[in-house]
Amino acid sequence: MKIAILGAMPEEIDPFIVEIPTQIDYYAGNKFYKAEFAGHELFIAYSKIGKVNAAITATLLIEKFKVEALLFTGVAGALKDNFKIGELLYATKLAQHDLDISAFGHPVGYVPGNEIFVNTSKKLNKIAVKTAKDLGLTLKSGVIVSGDQFICDDDKKAWIAKTFGADAVEMEGASVAQVCSAFKVPFFIMRAISDVAGHKAEINYDEFMENSAKTSADFVLKMIEKI
């Protein structure tokens, strides 16, 4: 099976490249790493930050490299206080919090021809839950929303959480979800929590990124072994 592994930043895919021998294909201004693992053909890439970059890269993975499933891993900020820094969260559904034509009487996050939320793959989510159990890790589920903004204002966080019933916010997942849904490619999106709503915890971000990327990569590779 051809499986895509996607992150937004190089740090989020570096552990995969270290773990597995890869070859590189350059296309459309980006690098795509190819590897063999657990009987599958993997295509690994980082999109660069933001919804447009993520949508472009997801589309290329599907159209050019013909992947049959897509697994996204990265970091997100919690919108509710029931998360700890470093915890893993997978999306049950995603929406774009900055998509707004409410001036025309539509709900925020909606445009005609699309739903507000895009659901993730139940099959892949079930595999993830089993993987977490096998690894002895806590894996939570919830609603993740995306926008081309780094959200650090507490009032904005509260508005997003209330409007979408969202648990976490980031900058790519919902656009990847929309692409995969349009092409009918099953997808899974998991985020490590980098900051917690209502708290100003001090963390070494570089160290956090390295540790969370390694944990997430190990998790995803174990998932792939079960696919």
The pair of three-digit structure tokens given for residue 88, joined into one six-digit string: 């893993």
Amino acid, res. 161:
A
Residue type present at position 54: A
CA distance 186 to 68: 7
At 129 the three-state DSSP class reads: helix
Residue type, 144: I
Q: What is the DSSP letter of 137?
A: -
CA dist., res. 45 & res. 53, Å (int): 11
Distance of CA 65 to the CA centre of its chain: 19
Active-site residue (options: 11, 12, 100, 170) = 12
**Residue of 81, 155, 195, 225 marked active site:** 195
Amino acid, res. 207:
E
CA dist 226 and 133 (Å) reads 13
Question: DSSP code of 147?
Answer: -
Report yes or no: 81 and 105 within 8 Å, Cβ to Cβ: no
Is residue 134 annotated as part of the catalytic site, yes or no?
no
Active site annotation includes 100: no
Q: Which residue numbers are catalytic?
A: 12, 195
